[in-house]
Chain A
Amino acid sequence: MSTEHGHHPAPLSDVEARTRALESILLEKGLLTPDAVDKVIATYERDIGPLNGARVVARAWVDAAYKKRLLTDATPAIAELGFGGRQGEHMVVVENTPTIHNVIVCTLCSCYPWPVLGLPPVWYKSPPYRSRVVIEPRKVLQEFSLELDEAIEIRVWDSSAEIRYMVLPERPAGTEGMTEEELVTLVTRDSMIGVAQAKAPAARV
């Protein structure tokens, strides 16, 4: 057994060691390059995230013709704003109304509309959400502090094929005077998954 050396960093976990080992082999075989690793990571850490989806939602809130295109054929409508690509090749946007609430899930794995929402949060990929939201959506939404009236129809969308879903949340009350740019700040990731409403506007002085 080797002794501990104070100047060494913490020991690698098994998964860290396996990752480094596999990465080394792929680099040696030319199936990976340092630039490719950096570029892919930067793309999803920096460029692609829920701000994209928020821009789509805000546009739909201010532009009725755009909203109609978005709900009719979402993929080209989203592409109008410059978003699309991997895991968003076939998009469907579903609209929340005073009587209908939509929520998305992937029970079999963790399918998620990357170009508009970025990579999914851990809870979306975890067994409690994947197993429960289809059988007890109201309880699950309550855990997100979203209490829905019993009269509201809940539609759960299980992304079981290659279509990816995004929820168009309701435009909050009291936002009539806000610009599209201001509205973007009210649209959260969770509201586009359907586990929350869009944020209410801050009280204005």
Chain B
Amino acid sequence: MNGIHDMGGMQGAGPIAPEHDEPVFHEQWEKNVFAMQIAASGQGLYSGAEFRHAIERMNWIHYLESSYYEHWLTAIETLLSEKGIISREELEAKVKQVKEHHEAIANFLPSNGSDQLASRLEKMVRQGGSTRRETGTAPRFKPGDKVVVRNIHPGGHTRLPRYIRGKRGAIEKVHGSFNLPDTNAHGRGKNPESVYTVRFDAREVWGEQAAVRDSIYLDLWESYLEPAS
């Protein structure tokens, strides 16, 4: 979708503001949100594509005014309630309860140091989880092939940034087949397709204001591309 998250090439966002000696997390709640996302995705409650799309569906103003981990929290709430794992009512009731009683995170049992979920998640983090799927279908393009990015504007999830649509580039590398986020985020199948690194001249994308030698590389699914005539 042409959402606020798709910000490559937008102007006026202001200076970059690096923080000296930045901590991994700034607030305790950010740590808890991070852990919830690892636990929920690690237990397969939703896919990475669904998670990204839930962030993209945020209200624009809320997206811009909130921090990264608030995006995550919002997406987890959205997905777990849409999937019926929690209900909005129980969540709002719990929020009210927490606010009124300044309740501790939960009256959970003390840690026994060896629970199964903790070890499962640890293993998952260390091993990772690829969305690469072999299809047996030969890739349509090979390195050096000239391609043009399709000028499409899907209303759902896509990993095709707006700034590169309609632009001409060349295949740099073929990476094998990966689940297509455009359908996978919507429960319409994994539909693995070849993914390619495509090189674009910066001038093809931004015109003469770009330096003549500069370039931009994107990783694009096969159905985003057409052969350049």
A and B are partners in one complex rather than unrelated chains: yes
- Note all chain B residues with C-beta closer than 8 A to A6: none
> B105 within 8 Å of A by Cβ?
yes
**Residue B228 at the chain A interface, CB threshold 8 Å:** no
Which of A135-143, A167-175, A197-205 lies on the face that meets chain B? Answer: A135-143
- Given A32-B35, A34-B108, A40-B38: A110 in contact with B130 (beta carbons within 8 A): no
Specify which chain A residues have a CB less than 8 angstroms from the CB of B32 in the assembled complex.
19-20, 23, 37
Provide the B97-113 mask, 1 if CB < 8 A to any CB of A, else 0. Answer: 11100111110111111
- Considering the complex, which residues of chain A in the window 99-136 have a beta carbon less than 8 Å from any beta carbon of chain B? 105, 107-110, 115, 118-119, 121-123, 125-132, 134-135
Stretch of A51-59, A61-69, A80-88, A179-187 contacting B (4+ beta carbons < 8 Å): A80-88
Q: Would you call A18 and B7 a contact (CB within 8 A)?
A: no
User: Nearest Cβ in chain A — how far from B213, in angstroms?
Assistant: 4
B206 to chain A minimum Cβ distance, whole angstroms, is 6
Q: Are B220 and A135 in contact (CB under 8 A)?
A: no
Report yes or no: B117 in contact with A24, Cβ–Cβ below 8 A: no
From A26, A27, A89, A159, B129 is in contact (CB under 8 Å) with: A89
For residues 1 through 16 of chain B, which have their beta carbon under 8 Å from a beta carbon of chain A?
5-11, 13-16
- Interface of A toward B, CB cutoff 8 Å: 8-9, 11-13, 15-29, 31-41, 43-45, 48-49, 84-90, 92, 105, 107-110, 115, 118-119, 121-123, 125-132, 134-135, 137-138, 140, 143-144, 150-163, 190
Question: Would you mind naming 6 contact pairs between A and B with Cβ atoms under 8 Å apart?
Answer: A15-B70, A29-B86, A36-B115, A45-B24, A107-B6, A131-B9
Write the nearest CB–CB distance from B53 to chain A, whole angstroms.
10
Residues in A whose Cβ lies below 8 Å from that of B28: 16
Q: Tell me, yes or no, whether B152 is within 8 Å of chain A by CB.
A: no
Which chain B positions have C-beta within 8 A of A163?
175, 195, 197, 219
Of all chain A residues, which has the CB nearest B112? Answer: A35
| Complex Cα gap A135–B10 (Å) | 8
- In the assembled complex, the Cα of A141 lies from the Cα of B179 at a distance in Å of 34
Contact A86 B125 (CB under 8 A): yes
B85 within 8 A of A: yes
Q: B25 — which chain A residues lie within 8 A by C-beta?
A: 41, 45, 119
Partner of B126, one of A18, A31, A49, A85: A85
Q: Which 5 A-B residue pairs are closest in the complex by CB-CB distance?
A: A107-B8, A161-B219, A21-B94, A35-B118, A131-B10
- Given that A9-B102, A43-B125 are known contacts, is A135 also in contact with B94, CB under 8 Å in the complex? no
What residues on B are CB-neighbors of A157 within 8 Å?
Answer: 216-217
Known: A43-B122, A162-B131, A163-B219. A108 touches B39 (CB 8 A): no
B52 and A150 form a contact (CB under 8 A): no
Q: Are the C-beta atoms of A121 and B22 separated by less than 8 Å?
A: yes
For the complex, give the distance between the alpha carbons of A150 and B118 in Å: 51
- Please indicate the chain B residues that have their CB under 8 angstroms from the CB of A115 in the complex: 128
Shortest beta-carbon distance, A23 to chain B, in Å?
A: 5
Q: Specify which of A21, A134, A161 is in contact with B220 (CB 8 Å cutoff).
A: A161
Partner of B7, one of A19, A34, A127, A156: A127
Chain B: which residue is nearest A34 at the CB level? Answer: B111
Q: Which of B19, B95, B129, B163 is most buried by chain A, counting CB atoms within 10 A of its CB?
A: B95
Most chain A CB neighbours (cut-off 10 Å) among B5, B16, B70: B16
Question: B90 interface residue, CB < 8 Å from A?
Answer: yes
A19 touching B52, Cβ below 8 Å:
no
Q: Which residues of B contact A48 (CB under 8 A)?
A: 125
**B109 proximity list for chain A (CB < 8 A):** 34
The CA-CA distance from A156 to B217 in the complex, in Å, is 6
